[in-house]
Homo-oligomer: A and B are copies of this chain.
Amino acid sequence: MIGAAKKKLSVLAVGPHPDDLEIGCGGTLLQLARAGHQVHLAVMTQGGAGGDGARRWAEQEAVAKHYKAKSLRWLGFTDTRVPLDKAGIDVLEAVLKAVKPDLVFAPWGDDTHQDHRHTSSIVRSATRYTPNVLFYEVPSTIEFLPDVYVDISRTLAGKYAALRLHKSQVNKVNVAGLSIIDCARSMAQFRGYQGRVKAAEGFKALRLRLSF
């Protein structure tokens, strides 16, 4: 009931590595794209530390098509070495200048992975004029208390499909015997009953502007 009114939104989703966006806000991105909003993706690194960078590049490109994203930008940083602040801010500001997003998705700032912490800090600076910025969670996120929920019941299957396109990563979960689909399912249900729906993605706003 509360969502995008009238105008079509320009949306930018920023991920540290291939597959972070899918686990953190893939269901929401699919929903936005299906409703006709423009979805742009920006990925900081090719994820070379977690697999073959070229393969992961191709997987993320396939996901962008799956979302019918307007663009997928590779920001050119090295996996595990996303810089803290200015060098990254400049690169992201150029993207923001091109995309002019109404809404930005970014990783939450506390995480066991330094690339997530740094990406979040970069986004915090670069989006200083952006009206809406929402932080998402991934399995390595720490101390995250969402209070904004997107009901993804209708796009949960599409989210699983997006995750399966990251073939090299599906079984690379920190816990033996769990696939990334298991993670996504439990996360969707866990945040779902907090948001009082069957499946949800949870977010925390840096800044969210409502207009009725």
Contact = CB atoms under 8 A, between A and B. Distances in A.
| Copies of this chain | 6
Nearest to A125: B114
A111 to B, nearest CB: 9
Interface in A154-211: 173-178, 182-183, 185-190, 192-198, 200, 204-211
A143 B202 CA distance: 13
A118 B84 CA distance: 11
Given A140-B128, A193-B175, A211 B148 contact: no
B1 A1 contact: no
Given A147-B204, A174-B193, 14 more contacts: A2-B210, A3-B210, A4-B5, A32-B212, A37-B212, A124-B142, A147-B206, A147-B207, A149-B208, A150-B212, A175-B192, A177-B198, A185-B186, A196-B209
